[in-house]
Amino acid sequence: MNDNIERQRRKDEHIYFAVSQHNTKLQSQFDELELINDAIPMVNLADVDLAGEVAGLAFETPLYINAMTGGSPHTEKLNGQLAEVAAATGLMMAVGSMHSAIRDPKLASSYSIVRKNHPEGVLFANISADLSPIQAQQAIDILAADALQIHVNVAQELVMKEGSRDFDHWLENIAAIKEHVNVPVIVKEVGFGLARKTIMRLRDINVDIIDLAGKGGTDFARIENARRRDGKWDYFNDWGQTTAQSLIAIQSPNYVNMPYFASGGVRHPLDAIKCLALGAEAVGIAGVILAYLKEHDVEATIEWVEEWKLQMKMIAVMVNARNLSKLRKVPIVAYGRLKEWGELRGVKMEQLAQRLM
Ligand X SMILES: Cc1cc2nc3c(=O)[nH]c(=O)nc-3n(C[C@H](O)[C@H](O)[C@H](O)COP(=O)(O)O)c2cc1C
Smallest gap, in angstroms, from Cβ of residue 63 to ligand X?
11
Q: How far is C-alpha 131 from the geometric centre of its chain's CA atoms?
A: 20
Contact call for residue 151 and ligand X (CB under 6 A)? yes
**Beta pairing, strands 283-285 & 63-65:** parallel
In this complex, which beta carbon is closest to ligand X, that of residue 194 or of residue 249?
Answer: 194
The answer to whether 180 is a known ligand-binding residue is no
Smallest gap, in angstroms, from Cβ of residue 234 to ligand X?
21
Sole binder of ligand X in the list 285, 317, 321, 324 (CB under 6 A): 285
Sole binder of ligand X in the list 35, 131, 136, 290 (CB under 6 A): 290
The answer to whether 84 is a known ligand-binding residue is no
The answer to whether 252 is a known ligand-binding residue is no
Contact call for residue 222 and ligand X (CB under 6 A)? no
Q: Each residue of 77-102: b (16+ CB within 10 Å) or e? A: ebbbbbbbbbbbbbbbbbbbbbbbbb
Stretch that binds ligand X, among 138-146, 211-219, 274-282, 336-344 (CB under 6 A): 211-219
Do 328 and 277 form a contact (C-beta atoms < 8 A)?
Answer: yes
Closest CA to 159 of 251, 238, 214: 238
**Number of neighbouring beta carbons within 10 Å of residue 356:** 5
Contact call for residue 175 and ligand X (CB under 6 A)? no
Give residues 53-82 in contact with ligand X (rule: CB under 6 A): 66-69
Q: What are the DSSP calls for 272-300, one per residue?
A: HHHHHHTT-S-EEE-HHHHHHHHHS-HHH
SS3 for 229? coil
The answer to whether 237 is a known ligand-binding residue is no
In this complex, which beta carbon is closest to ligand X, that of residue 14 or of residue 227?
Answer: 14
In this complex, which beta carbon is closest to ligand X, that of residue 18 or of residue 293?
Answer: 18
Stretch that binds ligand X, among 25-33, 43-51, 104-112, 257-265 (CB under 6 A): 257-265
Closest CA to 71 of 130, 3, 120, 136: 3
Give residues 191-210 in contact with ligand X (rule: CB under 6 A): 191
**Total length of the chain:** 357
Contact call for residue 142 and ligand X (CB under 6 A)? no
The answer to whether 328 is a known ligand-binding residue is no
Closest CA to 85 of 61, 106, 49, 56: 61
How far apart, in whole angstroms, are the C-alpha atoms of residue 39 and residue 62? 25
Contact call for residue 121 and ligand X (CB under 6 A)? no
Sole binder of ligand X in the list 118, 188, 222, 345 (CB under 6 A): 188
The answer to whether 227 is a known ligand-binding residue is no
Stretch that binds ligand X, among 105-113, 139-147, 262-270, 336-344 (CB under 6 A): 262-270
Rounded to 5 degrees, φ, ψ at 100 are -60, -40
Do 68 and 293 form a contact (C-beta atoms < 8 A)?
Answer: no
Do 252 and 196 form a contact (C-beta atoms < 8 A)?
Answer: yes
Residues that bind ligand X (CB under 6 A): 14-15, 18, 66-69, 96-97, 126, 149, 151, 188, 190-191, 213, 217-218, 263-266, 285-288, 290
